[in-house]
Structure formats: C-alpha cells, structure tokens
Structure 1
C-alpha cells in the first residue's frame, strides 16, 4: 500500500508525511536556517528568509513546532 506525498504527490510509504526527496529537501533547508542562525544569532525571520531564500512562513513553522527557538534579547540586555 502506498500513499501520496503531501508536497509533490509522488508515491511514498503510508507511514510518512512526505517522500524521501521532499523530506531530504526539508532537512537541507532546516540545516541552512540553523547554520545561518548560528552565524547571525540576532537575526529575525525576515533576515533569515532573505539570506537563505527560505520562506518566512516555513521559518515561523520551525519556530512554532519547536525545531528552532527564539531568544528574547531585550531581557538579556537588562542583566
């Protein structure tokens, strides 16, 4: 039994959300975002999107699902 990838529509295992190609693309984009944030830790989602070419909505999705965390620099300045 096969299902269809939610992104590209190609066949895939019924236990996955995306096919292997789309899943690897997502992992590559996540790594790109993570590496950028490590180099530029005070960046906002728009700056990350402009630098990486990855949409703001995808970056915000990573933050919402807990894959990326946001640091409140305002509270750190008062220390």
Structure 2
C-alpha cells in the first residue's frame, strides 16, 4: 500500500461512474425525444395544401403515420386520389 492510499483511502474509479452518468443522460434525452411535439398534423395540412393545387382531395384523404421499427422510424403517407373518368 502506498502512503497516498493510506491517507485518502481507496476511491472508486471514475470510469464506471462516468459510464453510469452517461447512460442516465442518454436515457433522459431519449425520453425527451419521444415526448417532443408531434409534427404529423402540421405535415398533413401542408401535404393537403400542396396536393390540392393539382388534385381535388379532402383532408380525410391524407393519412400520415409514424412508427418505430427497431432502431428506425418509418414515416408512412397514404393519399387517396379521386378517380377520374376516362373519355371514351
């Protein structure tokens, strides 16, 4: 034993403490991301505005969904376009 360890005692190593703190910070940031404001309604309204310039659609004809698959997030957009009668 060295004189240093006799005087100050055995202090815990800083690496495990730093790792634990980092894990807490990452968990906290991930929790904040999931509770972030939802942008899907605004996206749906903007899509409706753009598509309405070219095709007549209702707000109910556009569905926007987001789901998490493993480490990825998938954005799914379903648009029901009106059927046009073809000239004969």
TM-score under structure 1 length normalisation: 0.32
Larger radius of gyration: 2
TM-score under structure 2 length normalisation: 0.30
Relative CO higher for 1 or 2, CA cutoff 8 Å, sep ≥ 6?
2
Higher strand share: 2
Higher helix share: 1
